[in-house]
Structure formats: C-alpha cells, structure tokens
Chain A
C-alpha cells in the first residue's frame, strides 16, 4: 500500500576536505507528499532542489532527519522497484541503441522478460521515438531524442513514484507538448510525481502543490487549483475618460476565450489561456471599441514567489572552518 513520501527535518551539508569549507545544501527541510499527488519543486539555482532529489532517491546520505517512501528508506530495494527517475543531466550508455537501453533498464527493474519487447515498444511509442531511431546507437542521438529515451526508461513498469528533474530541459516545442501530455497521463494514472522544473507555466498547469525552495529551506508551499488551466492574467488599460461598460468587456472576453477577472475605471484584468488568447483579446476589445492604451501581463503566482524573495541570495551557504555554523 502506498503511503507517500515523508521528509522530516532533513539536513545535508557538503564538506570539502581540502578547502575546509562546508556547504549547507539543505537546512531542516520537511514536507509530505501524498500518494497520487503531483508535487512541484521550484527555486533559484543553488537552492538545494537537486540535493533534495538526491536524498529522496537515496543517492545522498542525509546528515540529519529522515526520509521515508512508502514507509521505507529511499534506498530500499522495494522503493527502487516502484521508482522511475529522469535526471537533469541525462547520461545514457552511449554504446547501446535506444531499444537496447530500454530493455537493459527493463531487466534491471526486474520486470518480466516475456513482456520486455512489448513493454519497450510501448514505451518508445509513448515518448514518440520511432523504431528506426530506437535502433540507432545512442551516441548519435540529439538532445531531444536522449530526453525521450530517458523519459521512456523512467516510465517503464508504470512506477508508483516518478522523479522528473527538468524533464523539458533542452527539448524542442514538440517535445514540450509531448511532455505536457505525458504529465497529464501520469497525473491521471495515480502515480506520485515529483517535478523539478524551471518552466513555471508547466508546473502551475500540472502540479497539485508546489514547494518553493531557497537556501536549503522550504520557503513556501502553494496549493494550486486541481486541474486548473494555467491562467495568464493580462492587465488592460484604456484611455482615461472613455466609458467602457461591463457588457463590452464581457463580450470581448467571451469572443477571445478569456474571462474578466476584475475591472476598474481605466483598467481591467483578464485571464487568458496563452499568448494567442491575449492577442485575440486585444482584437476583440478593439472590435467593441474599447480604446486600449496598454496591455501588460501580470506575474503568475509562482513567478511572484521568485520576485518576492528578491534580492536573490547566494547559491550556497559557506562556512569557513572558524565558524562551523556560519550563516548564509
């Protein structure tokens, strides 16, 4: 039975023997991820997100605190059996073909041999890698192809826990669309997904909750509306003195597929699905004779977390030997 992920007061410090310095990568991080949740982790560079992933995957030992996945340590064999992982720095066995690589990981995951061929074919199809490409040696793969193979191996065996570290990094727009679709499927499958991504729009679109990590601490956890469309808010100003009715604004919003969030005397806020929606809204407002003078996008909720944390802190907290508990 799946009981989720519990991170309790985890601390991780990197000590450099030669230089005598230490880097406090995680400072008492605590969070709980429920089974079936899609949980995002965002933060500035050097915040400790990759270290947190490393601890959750059992690659790094914590100095203090405890992590359990389904009630077991992260490096337990049973946990490994239900885990899928896509690292940010994707390093695959370059001498293998894409298919060989998947079959290799299928075997390492101790999945049944008799379904190996079919499972790998399904996984390749799912990530959009055609059989010809899969038969080529990985050494000749583009970044996008590597990412697809990496994602395919992470999804083998329908893992219960999936760790995705910057899955859309370096991927072309078609890959980003594919990734978005797969994330949606994973969300619907009931798997617990941990997503570390700088693509805030994607995070906002798919995640149930998001943790903002900064300086090795969880600064905030935002609960996002389940299944909500990523609404981008644009602020529209019109010439002062012009009379603009609610009806006109509503008509323009409906025509553009947007929704009116709020209005004032000389401005209104609209939620639009994307940039194209914003463009349609402008056209619709002009059509209903609203004298638009300015259209500006508002920051998303997650972007506001980054902005509210300015000025950005240093990537690491360093402690020279004289001050072992030195502050950041």
Chain B
C-alpha cells in the first residue's frame, strides 16, 4: 500500500484530532432509565395502594352550599344542583375529593356549572343522620358512597355517578349533565356566564 493511502486510514474518524470512537452497541439499553422506570413503577403501585387505604387530607377548593339553600340558589342562578353524597369513613370519597374537588380547575368548572352541596352521612358516627340529610338520601335512593347526583330543582334528576371512576369520567359526566340542563332551559353557558 503506498504511503499516501496509509495516511488516509485513520484509527478514528476525522483528522485524528477527534476523540477515539467509543465502543458499545448502538442498541445498548440505558440502564439508568430502566432502573428508574422499574423503581418508579414500584413506587407508583405502593403509594397508590397506600393512598387508597390511607387517603391524605386535602383542602377543598369548592365552596359547598347548605342543603336548605340549594334549590333557591339553583333557581336564582339557573344552575342545576350537584349533590355529593359521602361519608368520613369512605376511602374513594377522599380520592374523589383530592383529585376533583381539591383541584382548583375542576372546582372552578363545577362551581361555574352547578350549585355544589355536600351531603355527609353520619350514621356510623352518630347512629343517625340529620333529617335533611336522610331525606335527600331517601329521595335519591342513595345506596353507596360516593354518589354524585345532578338535579334540576324543577324536574328532578339529570344524572348520577356512583363510585369514583376517575377525574376524567367525573368531569365528563358533570359536563354532559350541565349541557343537558342548559339545553332544556334554552340557555348557553361560557366561562361561568349564562346567556339565555
């Protein structure tokens, strides 16, 4: 091989001043990423189970109304009532509270579309419910917690959600009930403002 050609064969790319090429497969797995993925997945499962059994206390972002004021306020504002039936001992109720009612964005949307009323069952703690609480539970045949019932004060139930199927399903269901209500009333709602 002539000397000129030998000069053109380098041990590395470029003009020899580049660093020598690294070895290793182009298909090498990034070990750190795999370890992190496994670790975070385990943490997700563990913390999820813990949260289910010992839900953290979350500050509500919703201004709940009194049961007695609900129908009046609903007629005044043109909004349906949202009754949230729950209990202190109910785990999924805490998750619902944390993921939906404590989120300012969801809370804002709910408040702009409904008159929110929290109805808390006290039978385990006190042995009986307050009269208005029991009346509502009987009227809407509440059998489990949490149960969300959307109500038109004039015509009755617009829809309900039993159990907690996730924030997305909750917000979608509430949105559909609010739209149904607006359609019935012939009104249009945007950004919390009702246009008839």
Task: List B residues 23-55 near A (Cβ within 8 Å).
Answer: 23-27
Task: List A residues 49-77 near B (Cβ within 8 Å).
Answer: 58, 72-73, 75-77
Known: A36-B1, A112-B15, A115-B15. A58 touches B26 (CB 8 A): yes
Cα-based distance from A1 to B13 in the complex (angstroms): 13
Chain B contact-residue range equals 20 to 34
B25/A75 in contact, CB under 8 A: yes
B13/A157 in contact, CB under 8 A: yes
Q: Is B155 at the interface (CB under 8 A from chain A)?
A: no
B26/A115 in contact, CB under 8 A: no
Cα-based distance from A36 to B8 in the complex (angstroms): 11
Q: Is B12 at the interface (CB under 8 A from chain A)?
A: yes
A110/B6 in contact, CB under 8 A: no
B22/A112 in contact, CB under 8 A: no
Q: Which of B9, B14, B23, B27 contacts A190 (CB 8 A)?
A: B9
Closest chain-A Cβ to B150's Cβ sits at a distance in Å of: 48
Count: A-B pairs, CB below 8 Å: 67
Closest chain-B Cβ to A69's Cβ sits at a distance in Å of: 12
Q: Which of A2, A77, A111 contacts B25 (CB 8 A)?
A: A77
B9/A159 in contact, CB under 8 A: no
Report the interface size for chain A: residues with CB under 8 A from the other chain: 26
Q: Is B5 at the interface (CB under 8 A from chain A)?
A: yes
Task: List A residues 65-113 near B (Cβ within 8 Å).
Answer: 72-73, 75-78, 80-82, 109-112
Closest chain-A Cβ to B16's Cβ sits at a distance in Å of: 10
Closest chain-A Cβ to B6's Cβ sits at a distance in Å of: 7
22 CB-based A-B contacts, threshold 8 Å: A1-B11, A36-B5, A36-B9, A58-B26, A76-B23, A76-B26, A78-B22, A80-B21, A81-B12, A82-B21, A110-B18, A111-B18, A112-B17, A115-B15, A157-B14, A158-B13, A160-B9, A189-B8, A189-B9, A190-B1, A190-B6, A191-B8
A110/B21 in contact, CB under 8 A: yes
Residue of B nearest to A80 (CB): B26
Closest chain-B Cβ to A104's Cβ sits at a distance in Å of: 15
Q: Which of B8, B13, B23 contacts A111 (CB 8 A)?
A: B13
Cα-based distance from A294 to B11 in the complex (angstroms): 56
Known: A36-B1, A189-B5, A190-B5. A109 touches B25 (CB 8 A): no
Q: Is A326 at the interface (CB under 8 A from chain B)?
A: no
Residue of A nearest to B18 (CB): A112
Residue of B nearest to A81 (CB): B21
> What B residues does A72 contact at CB under 8 A?
23
Task: List A residues 155-169 near B (Cβ within 8 Å).
Answer: 157-160
Cα-based distance from A188 to B4 in the complex (angstroms): 9
Known: A112-B14, A157-B14, A190-B1. A73 touches B25 (CB 8 A): yes
